[in-house]
């Protein structure tokens, strides 16, 4: 993010947080800049499982009784969430699987 001081003596908290993130996590070779590999790791981290994150998101948003399992009723109640999800191939998986 770009921030211009514009005469302000104090930086907003988000600027301090971003600076800390940059120094601690993004600038891995400590040269003060993000090179191509550092930028790639920031945008597409290798240790982040997108499918698992999306599946957790779907369960978190849909599991009304918070039992860790989805019922047909819970899925239907949040149908729009599932149809818009890459994890369900944008709804296609809902018609290909009998359990749904």
Helix, strand, coil percent content, the chain, rounded in steps of 5: 55, 0, 45
Q: What is the residue-averaged pLDDT of the chain?
A: 83
Copy the structure tokens of residue 29: 């070779």
Q: Are residues 86 and 60 in the same domain?
A: yes
Q: Are residues 89 and 55 in the same domain?
A: yes
Q: Are residues 86 and 56 in the same domain?
A: yes
Q: Are residues 34 and 19 in the same domain?
A: yes
Q: Write out pLDDT tens, residues 47-63.
A: 888 788 888 988 999 99
| Residue with tokens 């709804």, as numbered in its chain | 91
> Is residue 85 very low, low, confident or very high in pLDDT (cuts 50, 70, 90)?
confident
Position 18 in a domain = yes
Q: Return the half-sphere exposure (C-beta side, CA atoms, 13 A cut-off) of residue 10.
A: 3
d(CA 41, CA 50): 14
pTM for the model stands at 0.46
Q: Write out pLDDT tens, residues 39-51.
A: 998 888 888 887 8
Domain total of the chain: 2
Does the structure show a pLDDT above 90 at 66? yes
Position 34 in a domain = yes
Q: Are residues 90 and 55 in the same domain?
A: yes
Residue 80: domain span: 50-94
Q: Return the half-sphere exposure (C-beta side, CA atoms, 13 A cut-off) of residue 34.
A: 14
């Amino acid at each position: 993010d770009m921030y211009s001081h514009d005469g302000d003596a104090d930086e907003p908290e988000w600027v301090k947080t971003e600076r800390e993130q940059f120094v601690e996590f993004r600038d891995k070779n400590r040269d003060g800049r993000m090179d191509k590999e550092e930028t790639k790791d920031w945008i597409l981290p290798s240790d982040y499982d997108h499918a698992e994150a999306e599946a957790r998101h779907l369960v978190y948003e849909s599991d009304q009784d918070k039992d860790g399992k989805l019922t047909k009723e819970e899925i239907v109640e949040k149908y729009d969430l599932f149809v818009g999800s890459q994890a369900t191939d944008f709804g296609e998986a809902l018609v290909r699987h009998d359990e749904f």
